[in-house]
Structure 1
Amino acid sequence: MTQRTWFITGVNSGFGRHMTEQLLARGDRVAGTVRKMDSMDDLKAKHGDLLWLSHLDMTDTPEIQAVVNKAYADLRKIDVIVSNAGYGLFGAAEELSDDQITHQLNTNLVGPIMLVRAALPHLRAQGGGRIIGLSTFGGQATLPGGSLYHAGKWGLEGFLDSIGQELAPFKIRVTIIEPGGARTNFRGGSVRLGEQLEAYKGTPASFVHVMIKDTSRPAPGDPEKMAAKIIASADQEPAPKRIVLGSDSFGFIHKALSDRLADVAAQKDEAASTNFPPSA
């Protein structure tokens, strides 16, 4: 197997950590970004130069540009860019502060967009590559109490879907990953909740507070298997546009798309009624 070089944001936990461990174990190089450098001391000691590390705050656009450029300068070529870093912000929209909303969108939407934009000149210059964006079933389906999280993921999917078409002539392929719940530390370390308002208690939006805090029901997804599927997608030709991971993700997305299509199909004649007459 030819050695690849991967650039992955947020490698200290979750899918980023699982992917990094698997890639290093098979001899690939990983350029990983973290918020705390010492969080990767164990893998750095074990794998040495196969693991390139840098601090990166996904809300800092100049730093994103600088880190991507430095990774390419040091490693010469990067085959796969993985936008993985992010976190969940939950609660009714009215329960979230302005600062929380801005930080969420800057981290989960603007940051990944800037990451891809920073990598594009390098990917074009080297004649192609892969971009893999970590979304969620929440990029296709919605639940109450997740409006701002969904806003970021729906925006990310729209960006990646469109840019995949823009980049096809340059042999740069784009894949969107849509996992369901997985047994990572997402709920424990990557979730933030708004301050619950009395008015929303007992409403559908309040369920998210229970769901996040209730650890008695483990998520169905195996993160090691999911990470392996994400890695394997880099070998698929043609590159898959989307990869759904987890039975819960499949269920949520299938229902959401089926319902949406039924709503649209029912309006076919009404939609056409707003056209000019064919002879006009």
Structure 2
Amino acid sequence: MSRTWFITGTSSGFGRLLTEQALERGDRVAATLRRPEALDDLVERFGDRLWVARMDVTDAGRVREVVDRAFRELGTVDVVVNNAGRGISASVEEATDEQIREIVETNLLGSIHVVRAVLPQLRAQGHGRIVQISTAGGQTTYPSFGYYHAAKWGVEGFCETAAREIAPFGIGLTIVQPGATPTGFAGALVTAPEMPEYAVSPAGEVRRALAAGDFPLPNDPDKIVRAVLDLVDSGEVPLRLPLGEDTYHDVRASLVARLAEHDAHRATALSVARSDQPPA
């Protein structure tokens, strides 16, 4: 069964790989990116099965325009993949206001713009899947990635809420959490001038590992894309799909620690209940 995909951020990384693999198996893809010429080779290979549009996810008006045109010209879209994003490596004190705004606008607001734009179309057709590409850093944290985490934790909260709201319309939503993977993402990270105070700190250690190419990237990008395709083919709609040994172990450790801390404050939490209410 062939499908039609709408994928953002297709110039490189997971977006490019997913576009290519979906086309190779006979599907149609509406690919959006800021530089459409980056897909000229795929247009030559796959012809009219690849629909390309220039789009910056931070421009809400343009997102609505491109989404509406894609549905109008393609007739239906089965899977929407929210993949466009940017990364930043800097301590919370080092990043500039402009850098913080760019990361939040792309990773958080950009994803929200796409979901809001596609929902009327998906509701009208009565079915569809949204795949939100997140990261292990949407549920755990690493030094030097505070603003990336802020955006990804935010988008996961948004998507978890949206998933519950849209399920009655036959629309599924899954948050996919790849671990560290050699997609070129690390090399494209936004950075800020290092403050000497952070040279000997967890943030400084991560910065040096990235600069030296010593930051571990244990996952296979093709296998991650294959897992996304398999997920869609299976018809299953988990809320989250962790992909990578690092994702699995790091997120699990974070959840266990959070639960332990949560439970440690049970007595205090319950102590502030109103006295005229029955006990929880």
Paired with 1:79 and 1:244, the residues of 2 have a C-alpha distance of: 22
Match of 1:235? 233
Runs of 4+, deviation exceeding 3 Å = none
Match of 1:196? 194
Paired with 2:87 and 2:277, the residues of 1 have a C-alpha distance of: 52
Matched, 1:124 2:123: yes
Paired with 1:69 and 1:81, the residues of 2 have a C-alpha distance of: 13
- Aligned counterparts, 1:92-241, within 5 A: 92-189=91-188, 191-216=189-214, 219-241=217-239
| CA deviation profile, 1:69-115 (whole Å, cap 9, x unmatched) | 11111101000110001011121111111111111100000011010
Q: Is the alpha carbon distance of 1:42 and 1:279 closer, same or farther for their aligned partners in structure 2, counting shifts above 3 Å?
A: closer
Paired with 1:170 and 1:275, the residues of 2 have a C-alpha distance of: 37
Match of 2:247 among 246, 249, 254: 249
Paired with 2:270 and 2:236, the residues of 1 have a C-alpha distance of: 35
The number of residue pairs the alignment matches comes to: 278
Paired with 1:170 and 1:140, the residues of 2 have a C-alpha distance of: 27
- Aligned counterparts, 1:47-86, within 5 A: 47-86=46-85
3-state SS of the aligned residue for 1:182? coil
User: Which runs of 5 or more residues in structure 2 are unaligned?
Assistant: none
State TM-score, norm by structure 2.
Answer: 0.96
**Aligned-partner residue type, residue 201 of structure 2:** T
Match of 1:21? 20
Kindly indicate whether the alpha-carbon contact (under 8 Å) linking 1:133 and 1:175 is maintained by their aligned counterparts in 2.
yes
Once the two structures are TM-superposed, the CA of residue 238 in structure 1 deviates from its matched residue by: 3.6
Paired with 2:192 and 2:256, the residues of 1 have a C-alpha distance of: 31
| CA deviation profile, 1:191-230 (whole Å, cap 9, x unmatched) | 1112111111101121221132122455110000000111
**Aligned-partner residue type, residue 270 of structure 1:** T
**Aligned-partner residue type, residue 235 of structure 1:** D
Kindly indicate whether the alpha-carbon contact (under 8 Å) linking 1:80 and 1:132 is maintained by their aligned counterparts in 2.
yes
Paired with 2:181 and 2:43, the residues of 1 have a C-alpha distance of: 26
Once the two structures are TM-superposed, the CA of residue 236 in structure 1 deviates from its matched residue by: 3.0
Paired with 1:167 and 1:279, the residues of 2 have a C-alpha distance of: 33
How big is the alpha-carbon RMSD for the aligned residues of Structure 1 and Structure 2? 1.3
User: Which runs of 5 or more residues in structure 1 are unaligned?
Assistant: none
Paired with 2:166 and 2:129, the residues of 1 have a C-alpha distance of: 10
